[in-house]
Amino acid sequence: MRILVLGSTGFLGGHVVDHLRTLPGVRVFGAGRSEAAEFDLDLAGDSVKRLAKTLEAAAPDVVINCAGATGGDPVTLAEVNSRGAAALCAAMGLAAPVARLIHLGSAAEYGPGVPDAPVTESAPTCPLSPYGATKLAATLTVIASGLDAVVLRVGNPVGARAPLAGLPGRIAALLRAASDDRGAVLPLGDLSAYRDFVDARDVARAAGLAVTAEGPLPPVLNIGGGQAVPVRRLVHRLAELAGFRGRIEESSDGSARSAAVSWQCSDISLAGSALGWRPVHSLDASLADLWAATAPHGVSTQGKEGDSAP
């Protein structure tokens, strides 16, 4: 089986590739703008015709789209997330019409949640950010494409190599920079929101199961941790892992999105029945991996207080 992974050198794409390469009978090819990718591909800029030529050369049985933008202005987000997905679907219709498409969506497509009511795939979508809106547009395009396609609607991913654009990666970088400075202060915004965190390796495993699942899959599957976790807990647990001796200062000033979306949690039961999937990594294990991955090359983090998840 030939699998083409778009965004293969990104955070989730890298974990997906790592997992797929452990599966028997699979050949994995990366596609993107990085020199490390086997196929040069730019969803935001390539014409449908050029994308189709790339797909013809790759001859994939499955395409996994992990490419996307999480930050930037609305135009950039639309070009990469919305236009990119539409161009990919059009190109697959021309060059790989029988290949399965697995597209990584986002729980941001739902918008605000209701406390203690995990959201199902059939819930109304009401994204409050350009990111969520452009990811929702991509999901709708994939669903309407007529391809053998499924959208994995991912919660807040955590794990090794988490990007600085996301909260876990940014906090880990700040803690690493603070080192053992007892006078260090981490000025952060409001940490009272609840989020559904999921290990990047669990996301990758869900993608792998979607590759091998027989027959058509539900159009959208929630892939999350299945529980709402206070953002404050994540930050303080990372600080424990880091042995941070400074002070965390929480301000009421924070992102407008966090204030508007104070609670998010996904119902992941459909992924269980459709894929036989459930998350197996705890948040503590995810954070331990994230922290260890920020260590300078060649420096071990073993033996430091809090470095191992309980």
The residues annotated as belonging to the active site are 131
Q: Are strands 220-223 and 148-154 parallel, antiparallel or unpaired?
A: parallel
Please, are residues 264 and 195 in contact by the beta-carbon 8 Å criterion?
yes
Sign of CA dihedral 201, 205, 210, 211: positive
CA dihedral 249, 257, 11, 1 (to 10 degrees): 150
Sign of CA dihedral 251, 11, 19, 135: positive
Span between the terminal Cα atoms of the chain, in Å: 38
Contacts of the segment 18-24: beta carbons below 8 A, 24+ positions apart: 18/204, 19/201, 19/204, 19/205, 19/207, 19/208, 20/204, 20/207, 20/208, 20/211, 23/208, 23/211, 23/212
